[in-house]
């Protein structure tokens, strides 16, 4: 049986080198999508996506339901269902009957492993959460609220991303509640903070800045990066204030990149002063952070002048790495 699957997969791989727009290819993909073998269906779905074969939408939808109802046997790892969801989204399938995206966001697939079970549908739920938000599904916020409390961290993180995509005051409030409640995985809280800055930049800055706490460095770094990505000068001012309050050298240099990400002139001047005046190890970290200004010729030249005046080999190396010759 394994040999037969490998033979079919090889045939599909060879098919991928043909013109995917021909009726013959579409007919072969249609037959492959009817398979009960997850790897075969996954490969066929990927080819249908590449071919933008809208005439295969019904076959893809049917295949999704088939592998959802008996996924432990036919679709180990949910690979077929994930490939189908990706294909249908690229084919602009709106799922009017909620048979794919909503069903996928709710799907749990516990597969046996040594010593217990593992839920292999987590990535599927996270991807469907994003699509529900992008499609502005009428129940999106209800579903995302549930997924934000999912047992799997990747789903909770995906729900936070999806809330940011959805946008609006309701999504912002949900992100605040989730951030305040905390999460055992720092990246989930960090995603909530990044989402808040994306949805309500000005209003969220003071809230996000509250998470610049050295006791949880991963959350603090996520908060700092969220502030930096806002590209607001007020965000730099909050970062600079926290920099001045801290006595932890590692924490202070961690703030350099978020400062640089704001790309505002005060941040550039602050970081250049660090390059000019701080100890060499600190100056090097500042140069590395300023690498985000790679495409800005004026800032590149200004930084080069400062480094030339210090005449330190390590700084020159850091500059060459952060600003490689174009």
Residues 6 or more apart whose Cβ sits within 8 Å of residue 32: 8, 12, 40, 41, 43, 44
CB 220 within 8 A of CB 211: yes
**How many domains does the chain divide into?**
1
CB 208 within 8 A of CB 197: yes
Q: Is residue 245 part of a domain?
A: no
Q: Is residue 206 part of a domain?
A: no
Q: Which one-letter DSSP state was computed for residue 99?
A: S
> What whole-number distance in Å separates Cα of residue 298 and Cα of residue 313?
22
> What whole-number distance in Å separates Cα of residue 22 and Cα of residue 256?
54
> What whole-number distance in Å separates Cα of residue 273 and Cα of residue 39?
56
Q: Is residue 310 part of a domain?
A: yes
Q: Is residue 314 part of a domain?
A: yes
CB 262 within 8 A of CB 228: yes
How many C-beta atoms lie closer than 10 Å to residue 51's C-beta?
A: 22
> What whole-number distance in Å separates Cα of residue 119 and Cα of residue 279?
50
Task: Report the interhelical angle of 38-51 vs 2-15 (nearest 10°).
Answer: 10
> What whole-number distance in Å separates Cα of residue 34 and Cα of residue 223?
47
In this structure, the strands spanning 110-113 and 116-119 are: antiparallel
Q: Is residue 317 part of a domain?
A: yes
Q: Is residue 296 part of a domain?
A: yes
Return the pLDDT at 24.
Answer: 85
> What whole-number distance in Å separates Cα of residue 18 and Cα of residue 108?
36
The whole domain housing 273 covers 263-326
Q: Is residue 124 part of a domain?
A: no
Q: Is residue 59 part of a domain?
A: no
> What whole-number distance in Å separates Cα of residue 51 and Cα of residue 43?
12
In tens digits, what is the pLDDT along the chain, a chain of 326 residues? Answer: 554 788 888 888 877 777 777 888 888 899 999 999 999 999 999 999 999 999 999 999 999 999 998 888 999 999 999 999 999 999 999 999 999 999 999 999 999 988 899 999 999 999 999 999 999 999 999 999 999 999 999 999 999 999 999 999 999 999 999 999 999 999 999 999 999 999 999 999 999 999 998 788 999 999 999 999 999 999 999 999 999 999 999 999 999 999 999 999 999 999 999 999 999 999 999 999 999 998 899 999 999 999 999 989 999 999 999 998 75
CA-to-CA separations, 158 to 137, 144, 178, in angstroms, rounded: 16, 9, 13
């Amino acid at each position: 049986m394994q040999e037969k699957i490998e033979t079919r997969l090889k045939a599909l791989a060879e098919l991928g080198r043909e013109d995917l727009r021909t009726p013959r290819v579409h007919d072969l993909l249609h037959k492959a999508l009817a398979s009960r073998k997850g790897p075969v269906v996954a490969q066929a779905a990927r080819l249908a996506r590449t071919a933008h074969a809208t005439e295969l939408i019904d076959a893809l939808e049917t295949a999704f339901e088939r592998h959802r109802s008996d996924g432990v046997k036919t679709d180990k790892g949910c690979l077929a269902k994930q490939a189908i969801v990706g294909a249908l989204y690229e084919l602009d399938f709106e799922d009017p009957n909620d048979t794919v995206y909503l069903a996928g966001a709710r799907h749990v697939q516990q597969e046996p492993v040594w010593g217990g079970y593992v839920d292999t549908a987590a990535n599927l739920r996270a991807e469907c959460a994003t699509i529900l938000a992008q499609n502005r599904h009428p129940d999106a916020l209800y579903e995302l609220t549930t997924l934000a409390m999912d047992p799997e961290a990747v789903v909770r993180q995906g729900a936070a991303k999806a809330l940011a995509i959805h946008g609006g005051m309701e999504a912002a409030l949900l992100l605040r509640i989730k951030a305040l409640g905390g999460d055992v995985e720092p990246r989930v809280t960090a995603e909530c903070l990044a989402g808040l800055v994306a949805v309500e930049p000005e209003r969220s800055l003071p809230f996000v800045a509250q998470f610049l706490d050295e006791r949880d460095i991963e959350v603090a770094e996520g908060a700092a990066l969220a502030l930096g990505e806002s590209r607001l000068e007020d965000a730099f001012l909050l970062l600079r204030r926290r920099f001045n309050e801290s006595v932890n050298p590692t924490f202070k240099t961690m703030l350099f990149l978020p400062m640089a990400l704001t790309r505002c002139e005060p941040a550039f001047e602050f970081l250049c002063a660090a390059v000019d005046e701080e100890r060499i190890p600190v100056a090097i970290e500042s140069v590395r952070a300023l690498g985000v200004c790679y495409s800005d010729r004026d800032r590149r030249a200004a930084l080069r002048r400062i480094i030339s005046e210090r005449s330190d080999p390590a700084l020159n190396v850091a500059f060459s790495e952060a600003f490689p010759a174009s």
